[in-house]
Amino acid sequence: MITEAVMQEHKTKLIANYQEKNVDGIIEVLLSLRVNALQIAPELRKNLVYELIRNDIFLIEENDSFDFLISILDINNNSLKHAITSLISVISSTLRGVEYLISKNRMVVIDRVVKVFNSKINMIGNQSD
């Protein structure tokens, strides 16, 4: 199981890489968190999701907004979009995770994720023409 220190280290690196506009660094942190989630037993995965939420990995509670998460989703990089939507998927696998992602009845994260997927579907469709 990922420790509190490791979780805080990931969050610190995520924020630092974001501030430095280091897309590869952001991807590395997001994929590391996802790998941690996939490597633990499914019955323990919920605990990891709860730790991600408790540590406010996307700064939703700290900033009282979805700006940090949305701004990452808006970066035009396919690998980053894959990494961030994968971690969103892990978090949304629990009811508490869904509540975290739609707090205050705002659906902006879901709307943005749908737009990301639609743009990928359209891109694939245009390639097959």
Q: Look up residue 101 and give its two tokens.
A: 């992602």
pLDDT in tens, the chain (129 residues): 678 899 999 999 999 999 999 999 999 999 999 998 889 888 888 999 999 999 999 999 999 999 999 999 999 999 999 999 999 999 999 999 999 999 876 888 988 888 888 887 776 767 755
List the one residue out of 32, 46, 123 whose CA is nearest residue 92. Answer: 46
At CA 43, angle to CA 50 and CA 48, rounded to 5? 25
Ranges of each domain in the chain: 4-127
Measured CA to CA, the distance from residue 117 to residue 14 in angstroms comes to 23
- Residue 106: the pLDDT is 80
Q: Look up residue 77 and give its two tokens.
A: 């990089």
The answer to whether 15 touches 26, Cβ cutoff 8 Å, is: no
Cβ burial, residue 127 (10 Å; 0-12/13-18/19+)? exposed
User: Token pair 């919920």 is at which residue?
Assistant: 46
- Residue 61: the pLDDT is 94
List the one residue out of 49, 67, 48 whose CA is nearest residue 58. Answer: 67
- Residue 16: the pLDDT is 98
The answer to whether 72 touches 26, Cβ cutoff 8 Å, is: yes
